[in-house]
Amino acid sequence: MRVLQVSAELYPLVKTGGLADITGALPAALQSAGCEVRAVLPGFVGVMVDLQDSVLLAHVEAPWGERVAVRYGRLATINLMAYVIDVPGLYLRRGTPYEDEYRQPHGDNHRRFALLGWVATKLAYGLDPLWQPQVVHSHDWHAGLTSAYMAFVTPKVQRVASIFTIHNLAYQGVFPPSYFFDLGLPLEAFGVNGVEFHGQLSFMKAGLFYSDYITTVSPTYAREIQTPEQGCGLDGLLRARSGALVGILNAVDESVWNPAIDPHIPFCYDARTPYDKVLCKADFQRRVGLTVQNEAPLFGIVSRLTEQKGLYLVLSVLDTILGRGGQLVVLGTGDAWLEAVFRERAAAHPKSVSVCIGYDEPYAHRVFAATDVTLVPSRFEPCGLTQMYGLKYGSLPLVHRVGGLADTVIDCTLEDLANGLANGFVFDEFTIPAFDRAILRSFALYGRRYEWLRVCECAMQQRLGWETAAQKYKALYQQLCE
């Protein structure tokens, strides 16, 4: 089964969030399941530096007339064969893949990511004479136009299946309607049965409407996005396509996120040696200037600092945490007001609160190894990887019961403690009192050390690897190619 993966990010070469972790790990998992996978990517700096033994495959003309180069080579870090769109003027820029250094979206993002789908479609239908995919698997809005371009290719020598995965429906790649004329799509594509969305142009909607099949990153989220509350204006389309929509739970790359072999943490440990985690906690507390103590839990946040993540709930109960002797460490970047407030709280409580604005991969590993509780109080969460990392590292997740959080965390109720299934803390209502009660329950369990360690052992033994998800994707590919 030949599969072409289309994405803007790929860990560890280009990463702004969980999308990169998934697209970085999925190809290897699929190859272990018997698929032959190649990727197509924009030529961002990290990709170009890592590309080895590359050759110029072809020049193609972009829909707006620009001549662009497509290179083929091997991504050395993850040993993956890839096609890279080599256009320095579009991709070699300051800032993130999506924003400039002033956190403003690049003004030509519609061209930069339309080109990704355009080149993927060329590859689907013969750009590489030696290799043609049977399935094109596109990820999130950046690759959403892929399926639209594929739908309008004529004549088609052979059928190539298209799959589109929603990683977060809230980010839709919406642009002014005038940009449509840069895209090279026929006029009939700009309509309610096409890429038009409330008078605008939506890359996300293109993926949802034109793909043969739609997946998203957890079973619960697949149900939630078909409702007005979480459908982000696209719930009607998703309900209409419910027969071609499935949730496949994301997974963890256990070669990267594994405290038994993690090179980024000072003391390695596993479910059989949980006390070594205490050494990681003490080392971390010393390094960041927190009081070295183990009498109360250390809470951790590794997250984008945005409204979606429910972090105002944390700020609202921080006095409760500190009043009971707890501590908080934060790693993330996002909304300026959240960054400022967390910094203010750290300045006011330097021995109890540590805040690092930005993202640092090794530091994130140390946070999970040090903390006792991973806070993920998201308003909505398609899947979430943070709670899975918490599980792997014995940092018990405390989560809102939505999306993939509901699919992976089992609350510490009396019955689930008794039957050995509990692995974290869950609250149902997205309110300060409900979150506060969950915090208090975590303190109560932490005070019962034997039971706490039993729950940590259960959490760390969860099977979170990619084998199951890869088999489900492979079965879907085979179904579409029959």
223 and 130 in one domain?
yes
Rounded to 5°, angle at Cα 4 from 2 and 9: 150
Q: What is the DSSP string of 339-360?
A: HHHHHHHHHH-TTTEEEEES--
Q: Which residues contact 383 (CB under 8 A, 6 or more apart)?
A: 18, 167, 217, 218, 221, 249, 250, 403, 404, 407
Q: State residue 95 phi and psi, 5-degree precision.
A: 95, -155
| pLDDT at residue 256, rounded to an integer | 93
- Is 405 a member of any domain? yes
- Is 73 a member of any domain? yes
| pLDDT at residue 103, rounded to an integer | 87
Amino acid identity, position 74: R
Give the count of domains, the chain: 2
Q: What share of the chain is helix, strand, coil (3-state, %, to 5)?
A: 40, 20, 40
Amino acid identity, position 176: P
438 and 296 in one domain?
yes
Cα–Cα distance for residue pair 408/423, rounded to 1 Å:
9
- Is 266 a member of any domain? no
Q: Summarize the annotated binding site as residue ranges.
A: 15
Run of H or E including 57: strand 51-61
322 and 416 in one domain?
yes
Return the CATH number at 93: 3.40.50.2000
| pLDDT at residue 45, rounded to an integer | 97
H helices of 371-466, in order, are 386-392, 403-408, 414-418, 432-446, 449-460
| pLDDT at residue 17, rounded to an integer | 86
- Is 256 a member of any domain? no
Q: Which residues of the chain have pLDDT under 50?
A: none
Q: Summarize the annotated binding site for ADP-alpha-D-glucose as residue ranges.
A: 15
| pLDDT at residue 158, rounded to an integer | 83
| pLDDT at residue 156, rounded to an integer | 74
332 and 234 in one domain?
no
329 and 236 in one domain?
no
- Is 146 a member of any domain? yes
Q: Which residues contact 403 (CB under 8 A, 6 or more apart)?
A: 218, 220, 221, 224, 378, 380, 381, 382, 383, 384
| pLDDT at residue 177, rounded to an integer | 97
89 and 209 in one domain?
yes
Domain extent, residue 423, equals 275-460
356 and 208 in one domain?
no
Run of H or E including 150: helix 145-151
358 and 473 in one domain?
no
Amino acid identity, position 362: P
Which has the closest alpha carbon to 328: 304, 352, 303, 361? 352
| pLDDT at residue 40, rounded to an integer | 98
284 and 159 in one domain?
no
**Parallel, antiparallel, or unpaired for β 2-6 and 36-42?**
parallel
Which has the closest alpha carbon to 96: 23, 42, 135, 60? 42
- How many Å from the N-terminal Cα to the C-terminal Cα in the chain? 11
Q: Which residues contact 350 (CB under 8 A, 6 or more apart)?
A: 289
Is-contact 63 52, C-beta < 8 A? no
The edge-to-edge listing of strands for the beta sheet with 353-357 is: 353-357, 327-332, 298-302, 373-376, 396-400, 425-427
360 and 240 in one domain?
no
| Residue located via tokens 């060329």 | 122
Cα–Cα distance for residue pair 347/340, rounded to 1 Å:
10
Run of H or E including 327: strand 327-332
182 and 72 in one domain?
yes
- Is 370 a member of any domain? yes
Paired with 61 in beta bridges are: 67
Which pTM value belongs to this model? Answer: 0.93
pLDDT tens per residue across span 287-300:
999 999 999 999 99
223 and 300 in one domain?
no
- Is 261 a member of any domain? no
- Is 259 a member of any domain? no
